[in-house]
Amino acid sequence: MSQLLDPGRTCWRIEAAARFAVIVDGADYYRALKEAILKARRSVAMIGWDFDTRVAIEPEGATLEGPNELGEFLEWIVERNPELDVSILKWNLGIINTLSRGETPLYVLRWMSGASRVRLKLDAAHPVAASHHQKIVVIDDALAFCGGIDITMGRWDTRAHRDVEPRRRAPGRRGALLQPWHDATTCVDGPAARALGDLARERWSRATGKAPDAPPPPADDDRLEDLWPDSVTPLARGVPVGISRTAGAFGAFAQVSEIEAMTLAMIAGAKRTIFVENQYFASRRIAEAMAARLAEPDGPEILMINPHSQEGWLEEATMGAARVKLLALMRRADHHGRFRLFHPVTAGGVAIYVHAKIMIVDDRVLKIGSANFNNRSMGFDTECDLSVDAALMPDEAMAAALEAQIAGVRDDLLAEHLGLAPETIADAVARGGSLVRAVDGFASETRRLQPLQARDLDVLDQALAEADLVDPERPPRPLKALARRFSTIMRPRAEPRPALASRRDPVPGSPGGGA
């Protein structure tokens, strides 16, 4: 098997994880996170799009030691352990959410003023209109979480995704019930975790101008075993992990587009199947790469799971409209009937919002992180994905074992969506030799995965779907952007505007790159 992870092109670094785990949905992640922080000795670094101090880690009632709400728990943990420092780096425009939702300002003011060993900084080191979208937590440089789950309102849900879930509600005594939410992250330890610590320190240095000290390397004791969350079962041990990033060019910092390169390499290298869960399908470059594979007589099957619609009017008018256009492109290329796009619903038919960012190719490569299938995540916002590739295992037996584990992740995800056992999915795929045909049969029986139907686009949808101002591929060069703006202002009104559809890469999107 050829190696897809290539440092400097498709990833930043490849580092070993003593253990690697996939954590699905917020209930399991929040519990694992608290378990790990309770074991922290020196440092907790939290990098995120948003944090809400009001979030209950266990909405059903605390079973773990310490306060249940995030803000109170972090204050409590640093008081309990005088040697522990907690640093939080949050996207600067995310503070608008904090102020608008009535979040208690006590913690924010204390943390930003330096009155606590919980330190909060707002990160403005990004191109204009870009978003810091990574979701990373690093503990003692020995254990780390990296994926798509924010510690904020509306992300908590169980894997049952019940129609009505009393625990799935906005903070506050009378908080409104919230929609079902599907998400995913990873947990790693060993050198992979320390590398994510390096990434967190680099982000902190860019944002503040001062790099924090790194914790010392762990001693040869039971330190790593102690930090691993009790509720998490490792998927694999001793596995190389690729860390891929996106970062838009900013000041003296160069453009980084490793996630886009990795995604395109996975599409190009797929032989049998491409399985995707993602919040968006709005990147024309990704869609064109997939369409080219669909046009091949013996190309791979492609099974994609999206939410039914996007959150809010603007996201639906941009990302949703882009998806309609790209869906048409895929269906025109799908001469052999190998493409499916589904959206999940609960047993009672309530739409489940898909926020996970997962890609699995041939049961061989698994990629999970913060990057969406939109232009911003490929070259404009700040993202981080982790990948494991069976081609990097030292022998055929270990590679085969990792492939079986990756296939198990895919089957487990489909089982969650379809309300079935993972073994049922695996048996059907093995018997029929086709992932999409197996899912077609289960979807028609359970009605838990429904084919996504394209909606009609109006004039406004058409305009917003093509607006690269909303979902840019890369930060614009200042002089080029100024020249474009001047040209637009000076153009005579009688002169017809260039047809938007004539652009090679119409790029839809929404401000902030989604959550």
- Domain 19-221+228-239 sits in CATH 3.40.640.10: no
Q: What is the identity of the amino acid at 158?
A: T
Counting Cα atoms < 13 Å in the Cβ hemisphere of 305 gives 32
Q: CA 336 to CA 331: how far, in whole Å?
A: 10
The DSSP result for 266-283, as a single string, is HHHH-SSEEEEE-S----
So what's the pLDDT on residue 459? 56
Domain ranges in the chain are: 19-221+228-239
Q: CA 46 to CA 30: how far, in whole Å?
A: 13
* Three-state secondary structure call for residue 64: coil
So what's the pLDDT on residue 98? 64
Residue 455: both structure tokens together: 């909606």
User: What are the pLDDT tens digits along the chain (515 aa)?
Assistant: 568 999 999 999 999 999 999 999 999 999 999 999 999 999 999 999 999 999 999 998 999 999 999 999 999 999 999 999 999 999 988 666 666 665 566 788 889 888 899 999 999 999 998 999 999 999 999 999 999 999 999 999 999 999 999 999 998 767 899 999 999 999 999 999 999 999 999 999 999 998 777 776 655 544 445 899 999 999 999 999 999 999 999 999 999 999 999 999 999 999 999 999 999 999 999 999 999 999 999 999 999 999 998 776 667 667 778 888 999 999 999 999 999 999 999 999 999 999 999 999 999 999 999 999 999 999 999 999 999 999 999 999 999 999 999 999 999 999 999 999 999 999 999 999 999 999 999 999 999 999 998 766 655 556 555 556 567 888 876 534 433 443 333 333 333 333 323 222 323 333 345 66
So what's the pLDDT on residue 103? 57
Other C-beta atoms lying within 10 Å of the C-beta of residue 226: 14
Q: CA 13 to CA 246: how far, in whole Å?
A: 13
Q: CA 85 to CA 488: how far, in whole Å?
A: 51
* Three-state secondary structure call for residue 444: helix
So what's the pLDDT on residue 108? 82
So what's the pLDDT on residue 212? 76
Residue 233 neighbours by CB under 8 Å, 6+ apart: 21
So what's the pLDDT on residue 1? 53
Start-to-end C-alpha separation, the chain: 35
Cβ distance 364 to 496 under 8 Å?
no
Length in residues, the chain = 515
So what's the pLDDT on residue 87? 96
So what's the pLDDT on residue 8? 97
The DSSP result for 304-373, as a single string, is EE--SS-SSHHHIIIIIHHHHHHHHHHHHH-TTS-EEEEEEB-TTSPBPEE---EEEETTTEEEEES--S
So what's the pLDDT on residue 11? 98
Q: What are phi and psi of 205, to 5 degrees?
A: -65, -45
So what's the pLDDT on residue 110? 87
Q: Among residues 304, 372, 317, 374, which one has the least CA distance to residue 344?
A: 304
So what's the pLDDT on residue 463? 57
What is the bridge-based pairing of β-strands 383-389 and 85-91?
Answer: unpaired
Strand-pairing partners, residue 383, are 246
